[in-house]
C-alpha cells in the first residue's frame, strides 16, 4: 500500500521539541534514570549475592560458566530489584513533570484555536483537568519505576546466566546505561508531550462543538500499520474509537499522529477555563 503523505509537519510539536521546556525535561529524565539505576545496582547485586551467591571471579580456564536460573532464583533477583530501587520522585521533582504536562496541554489547545482561526490564547485553568493531570504524573512515575526495576532485574538475570561475575554484571549494565537511557528519556518526553497535545486538541474540539474526527499520519515509511489503518477509516464520530481501540493518538510510543476535526460554529470558544 502506498503512503499518502498526508501531512509533512506536526503542528505545534515540531516547534515544541526544539523548545527549552522539552529539552530540559528530556535531560532531567535521562539524568534521573541514570542516578536511580546507579544507586540501586550495588544494593541489588549485594542482596542477590547474599541470597543466591555470585561468582567473584572467572574460572581458571577463563571460560564463562553459563547456567540457567530457576524460576525461584529469578524471583529472588526481581524481589531484590523491587526492594532496592528508590522511586523516581526521589530524583525528579514531580512538579516539573506537572508543569511539562500543562505546557504541552496549552500547545494542543492553542493548536485547535489556530486551526479554527480563533485569535485567542489558550491557557489551561480548569480545576478538574489540572487535578486529573496531577494524578497522571503519579501514574507515570509509578510506571517508569516499574520499568527500571524490570530492566535491572532482567539484565542481572541475563548476566548471571551468561556466566558473568558480580563485577562483570555491574560493568555490563553500566556500559549500556548512557545510550539506553538517552533513548528512553527522549521516548518518554516525546510520547508524554504528544499525549497531552492530542488530549488538549480533543478536549478543545469536543467543548467547541466537534462532531467528527479523522486520524492523520505523517505519511512516511515509518508509519505504524495500526495508525495507517486508523487513517484509512476516514471521519468517525468524535466520541467513537478507531479500529485500534484508541480514541486519539498516540497509539504507541513515539507516535507522530494527530487528529483533524469537523465542528459546528457555536459562537463561543473554550480557551482552557
Q: Name the residue range of residue 150's domain.
A: 13-206
Q: Is residue 153 part of a domain?
A: yes
Q: Is residue 90 part of a domain?
A: yes
> How many domains is the chain partitioned into structurally?
1
Q: Is residue 272 part of a domain?
A: no
Cα-based distances in Å from 149 to 70, 79, 83? 19, 9, 9
pLDDT profile of the chain (273 residues), mean per 10 = 40 82 96 97 93 66 70 96 96 94 95 83 96 95 97 96 91 96 96 94 88 90 93 94 95 91 75 92
Q: Is residue 265 part of a domain?
A: no
- 163: region left, alpha or beta (phi > 0 left; psi from -120 to 50 alpha): left
Q: Which residue has the cell 490564547?
A: 121
Q: Is residue 24 part of a domain?
A: yes
pLDDT at 240: 95
The C-alpha atoms of residue 83 and residue 99 are separated, in whole angstroms, by 30
pLDDT at 6: 39
Percentages (nearest 5) of helix, strand, coil residues in the chain: 60, 5, 35
Q: Is residue 74 part of a domain?
A: yes
pLDDT at 208: 83
- At 190 the three-state DSSP class reads helix
Q: Is residue 128 part of a domain?
A: yes
What pTM, to 2 d.p., does this model score?
Answer: 0.87
Q: Is residue 36 part of a domain?
A: yes
Amino acid at each position: 500500500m502506498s503512503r499518502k503523505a498526508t501531512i509533512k509537519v506536526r503542528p505545534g510539536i515540531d516547534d515544541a521539541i526544539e523548545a527549552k521546556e522539552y529539552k530540559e525535561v528530556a535531560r532531567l529524565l535521562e539524568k534521573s534514570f541514570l542516578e536511580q539505576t546507579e544507586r540501586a545496582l550495588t544494593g541489588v547485586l549485594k542482596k542477590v549475592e547474599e541470597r543466591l551467591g555470585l561468582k567473584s571471579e572467572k574460572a581458571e580456564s577463563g571460560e564463562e560458566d553459563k547456567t540457567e536460573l530457576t524460576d525461584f532464583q529469578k524471583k529472588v533477583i526481581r524481589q531484590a530489584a523491587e526492594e532496592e530501587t528508590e522511586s523516581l520522585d526521589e530524583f525528579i521533582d514531580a512538579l516539573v513533570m506537572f508543569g511539562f504536562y500543562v505546557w504541552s496541554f496549552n500547545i494542543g489547545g492553542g493548536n485547535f484555536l489556530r486551526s479554527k482561526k480563533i485569535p485567542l490564547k489558550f491557557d489551561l485553568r480548569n480545576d478538574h483537568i489540572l487535578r486529573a493531570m496531577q494524578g497522571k504524573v503519579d501514574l507515570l512515575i509509578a510506571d517508569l519505576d516499574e520499568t527500571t526495576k524490570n530492566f535491572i532485574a532482567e539484565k542481572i538475570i541475563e548476566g548471571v546466566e551468561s556466566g558473568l561475575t558480580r563485577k562483570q554484571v555491574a560493568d555490563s549494565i553500566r556500559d549500556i546505561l548512557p545510550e539506553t537511557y538517552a533513548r528512553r528519556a527522549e521516548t518518554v518526553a516525546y510520547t508524554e508531550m504528544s499525549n497531552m497535545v492530542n488530549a488538549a486538541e480533543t478536549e478543545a474540539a469536543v467543548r467547541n462543538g466537534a462532531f467528527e474526527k479523522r486520524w492523520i499520519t505523517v505519511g512516511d515509511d515509518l508509519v505504524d500499520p495500526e495508525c495507517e489503518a486508523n487513517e484509512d477509516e476516514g471521519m468517525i464520530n468524535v466520541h467513537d474509537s478507531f479500529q485500534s481501540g484508541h480514541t486519539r493518538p498516540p497509539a504507541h510510543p513515539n507516535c507522530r499522529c494527530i487528529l483533524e476535526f469537523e465542528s459546528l460554529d457555536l459562537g463561543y470558544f473554550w480557551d482552557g477555563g
